[in-house]
Amino acid sequence: MINDELLNKYIDNELTEVELKELTEALKKDKEAQIKLKALQLTDEVLRKMEITPAPQNFTESFMKKIITVPSVHKEKISYFFVAVISFFAVAIIGVLGFSFSKIDITTSSLGDNNQYVQKTKEVFSGGLSQINSIFNNDNMLLIGAGLTFVLLISGYFIIENHKNFKEKLNRFSH
């Protein structure tokens, strides 16, 4: 099989006699390889005729100084979405805890007897569970599910956008 590497070795006269014979025989049979060889020979000829202009003496140092001193053009975009989502869940948890504690009505008379305290706690939690159960009825679950789906869709959108921005920054950095 004739590849570019073999053709480049042919142009640079780096083939052994055996490889040279095999290549010339293969070239006689393969028109595409002949066209590729002519293109590579033309490219080699043009490159050899090009005038090479040397870079100035301090080119690398001065260029690196310019790169370092150029101020950053891109301003970082701050996304507060994740902070908002975490804050929302924190407020929701605090709200549920506050609601639970507000339902516990401990008076000084009930603290005297441990049995009364345990009984009062059971009553509060059983009442709280029935209230929580009423929250999660069919209509409310539909609304909660729709709200969570909406939050997930928005979260997915922002995650994808942040990923795109990261890829752009990575491409700018690598090029």
Domain boundaries, the chain: 1-50, 81-174
* Backbone phi and psi for residue 13, each to the nearest 5 degrees, phi listed first: 55, 45
pLDDT, tens digit, for every residue of 15-63? Answer: 999 989 998 999 899 999 999 999 999 999 998 888 888 888 888 888 8
Outline where the chain has alpha helix (H).
4-11, 17-29, 31-49, 59-69, 81-103, 108-111, 114-135, 138-174
Report how far apart the first and last C-alpha atoms of the chain are (Å, whole number).
Answer: 35
CA distance 24 to 19: 9
| Location of structure tokens 């090029």 | 175
**Dihedral (Cα; 136, 138, 141, 143), 10-degree rounding:** -130
Tokens of 91: 């407020």
pTM of the complete model beyond 0.75: no
Tokens of 110: 């009930």
Per-residue pLDDT of the chain (175 residues; tens, 9 = 90+): 788 888 889 999 999 999 899 989 998 999 999 999 999 999 999 988 888 888 888 888 888 887 777 566 556 666 677 777 778 888 888 877 777 666 665 554 444 556 676 677 667 666 666 666 666 666 767 777 788 888 888 888 888 888 888 888 888 776 5
- The identity of residue 64, as a single letter, is M
CA distance 108 to 120: 12
Half-sphere exposure (CA, 13 Å, Cβ side) for 96? 9
Q: Is the dihedral of CA 43, 44, 50, 54 positive or negative?
A: positive
CA distance 116 to 30: 100
Predicted confidence at residue 113, as pLDDT, reads 55
CA distance 144 to 137: 10
Q: Cβ(81)–Cβ(161) under 8 Å? A: no
